[in-house]
Amino acid sequence: MNTAPLQGIKVVDFTEVQSGPSCTQMLAWLGAEVIKIERPGVGDATRKELQFDPTLPSYYFLQLNSDKKSLALDAKTPDGKEILTKLIKEADIFVENLHPGAMDKLGFSWEAVHALNPRCIYGTIKGFPVSSKFKDLKAYEPIAQVTAAAASTTGWYEGEYNVPTQSGAALGDSNTGMHLTIGLLAALAQREKTGEGSYVYQSMHNACLNLCRIKTRDQLTLDKIGYLTQFPQYPDGKFGDFVPRSGNTEGSGVLGWTYKCKGWETDPNAYVYVILQRGAKEFELACKGLGFEDWLTNPDYNTADARDRHKQEIIQRIQGFCIDKDKYEVTAMLSKFGIPVGPVMSTKEIMDDETAYDGNTLVKINQGGKIGEFVTVGCPFTISNYQPTYGPCPELGGNTEEVLTELGYTADQIAEFAKNGTTAPMPAAAK
């Protein structure tokens, strides 16, 4: 049994860059038919972004658009609008992430699409919620991170590198796509009951803020007591009235830090993360694993609260333990005692790890032609009775004829659309 959860669901995908395409990528991997609308001759901007070869689509595009169909369509022409209208009438989901106001200008707002096809669910990504003073701003990843308190709470907490810092993880882009996916799947389940499509609005800001929930917890605590015991600034440093950056502190009450391991002088990722849990039993095991059994009877260390007050001495001593061992050795030694520990991994180490090619974690997609095989991150969860397959990305407009034929257009009409600039760029002289 390998029934795709979204088999039979048709998605009209008017998205580009990363946030929207990451959502429709997931829908495609769950079995939906995804028809990506791209401007004739232009396509998704990422096709030509940071290419490894100027004649080929970029890895950016390849990694976010597999298993989709591409329909080249100028939605600003009358024929383009007619084609899009027909498509929407057959669609289960319409998704877009153009700049604020662009879809209204094109004539395909939520209200318009809902009137055309009341069953169609409409998914939108914008930078900000409609209530926001920033609602009209265009947005890219870092804009979401800086405006959602992610950047102000990330990075080093003292010295010249005490600057708002962006995460390497796409909290504003792919994370927003995953949030929209949740909303769309909920809307599909809701439609089962109501028979009617709904409007799912997902801002990058709210998706990013949703991952900063614990930072808002810290703000609440700070407002109440004026300090945060888990932060490196505690007990000696000063706190202001907002949550500061905390370096590599663990976000909950456990005492976690990143430690240099053997080889750190030449390898910037020769580090390991070690956590001391708060419970007495776990602490006892940790002391055994680290060989620090004297801590068990020392009141400066043998309670979690005391450890918060003496975290700098603790960090120093654990650092001494790690410095002459490599990160995998430390991981193996400490995990034996149940200590939460993990090596800092580089992208290269992750992608060189053959165990990651388990059919989902990392996947190899055969694009064919000059590109051949490329690696991407697969569907991050597994479903017991469904295994996604991972196929190539479409060429720009690669499915135009097929999609138009299915909509009932004749060969002559399809040829005319290409000639009049609806599905193919107009020759320069004719413009």
Point out which residues bind ligand COA (CB under 6 A).
16-20, 37, 39, 73-76, 97-99, 102, 105-106, 125-127, 138-140, 173, 204
**Residue of 329, 334, 315 whose CA lies nearest to 270:** 329
| Residue with smaller CB distance to ligand COA, 14 or 29 | 14
d(CA 252, CA 247) in angstroms, rounded, equals 14
Q: Work out how close the CB of 310 gets to ligand COA at its nearest, in angstroms, rounded to a whole number.
A: 44
Residues in Cβ contact with 112 at an 8 Å cutoff, skipping those fewer than 6 apart: none
Quickly tell me which residue has 């053959």 as its tokens: 354
Phi, psi angles (nearest 5°) of residue 386: -150, 130
Q: What is the DSSP string of 96-116?
A: E-PSTTHHHHHT--HHHHHHH
For helices 327-335 and 280-290, give the axis angle rounded to 10 degrees.
130
Q: What is the largest CA-CA distance in the chain?
A: 88
| Residue with smaller CB distance to ligand COA, 22 or 152 | 22
d(CA 374, CA 370) in angstroms, rounded, equals 11
Residues in Cβ contact with 342 at an 8 Å cutoff, skipping those fewer than 6 apart: 272, 273, 331
Instruction: Indicate the DSSP class of residue 412.
Output: H
Q: Work out how close the CB of 207 gets to ligand COA at its nearest, in angstroms, rounded to a whole number.
A: 10
| Residue with smaller CB distance to ligand COA, 73 or 322 | 73
Q: Work out how close the CB of 317 gets to ligand COA at its nearest, in angstroms, rounded to a whole number.
A: 44
| Residue with smaller CB distance to ligand COA, 74 or 282 | 74
Cβ-contact 310, 295 below 8 angstroms: no
| Residue with smaller CB distance to ligand COA, 127 or 232 | 127
d(CA 322, CA 51) in angstroms, rounded, equals 41
Q: Work out how close the CB of 22 gets to ligand COA at its nearest, in angstroms, rounded to a whole number.
A: 8
Say whether the peptide bond before residue 235 is cis (omega within 30 degrees of 0): yes
Q: Work out how close the CB of 322 gets to ligand COA at its nearest, in angstroms, rounded to a whole number.
A: 38
Is 173 known to be catalytic? yes
**Catalytic residue, candidates 13, 67, 173, 218:** 173
- Residues belonging to the active site: 173
